[in-house]
């Protein structure tokens, strides 16, 4: 696992680093023990002269075995932006995992029907 953490227009403190790398989140549990994992996390301040509004920005790009997952957020608080990014990535990765399981199960059911003789449809060519 390779984690790259950057900060732009602000200083990267230990508190921010610990909050980003915290393993107690859902994302940490989902990505635990994965090989070929590259994470690029960037936190930044949009401008130095604004006092209110969406000032903080967080980006995260995860390369997981050749698949890319990306999320970004603009919030008033840096920690809120990091939380929004983690929630979006968790949703995207779990959705992809569920999609793979569903496609595998659907294909296996189709092959089983074909082998039993219940369906004449070929699951590999989708023709009857």
Q: State mean pLDDT over 63-69.
A: 86
d(CA 125, CA 108): 14
Q: Per-domain residue ranges for the chain? A: 2-96
pTM for this predicted structure: 0.74
- Residue 43 in contact with residue 56, Cβ under 8 Å? yes
11-20 long-range contacts (CB < 8 A, ≥24 apart) are 12/43, 16/43, 16/78, 19/79, 19/82, 20/82
* Structural element, H or E, at residue 71: strand 67-75
The encoded tokens of residue 37 equal 């994992």
What superfamily would CATH give domain 2-96?
A: Ribosome hibernation promotion factor-like (3.30.160.100)
Q: Which of 73, 16, 88, 78 is nearest to 5 (CA)?
A: 16
Q: State mean pLDDT over 65-78.
A: 89
d(CA 69, CA 94): 11
The overall average pLDDT reported for the chain is: 82
Radius of gyration of the chain (CA): 21
d(CA 118, CA 107): 15
Q: State mean pLDDT over 37-51.
A: 81
Residue 59: the pLDDT is 93
């Amino acid at each position: 696992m390779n984690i790259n953490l950057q900060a732009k227009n602000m200083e990267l403190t230990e508190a921010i680093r610990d909050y980003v790398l915290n393993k107690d989140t859902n994302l940490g549990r989902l990505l635990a023990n994965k090989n070929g994992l590259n994470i690029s996390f960037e936190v930044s301040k949009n401008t130095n002269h604004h006092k209110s509004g969406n000032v903080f920005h967080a980006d995260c790009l995860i390369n997981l075995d050749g698949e890319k997952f990306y999320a970004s957020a603009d919030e008033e608080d840096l920690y809120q932006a990091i939380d929004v990014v983690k929630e979006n990535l968790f949703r995207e990765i779990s959705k992809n995992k569920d999609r793979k399981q569903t496609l595998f199960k659907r294909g296996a059911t189709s092959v089983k029907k074909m082998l039993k003789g219940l369906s004449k449809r070929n699951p590999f060519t989708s023709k009857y």
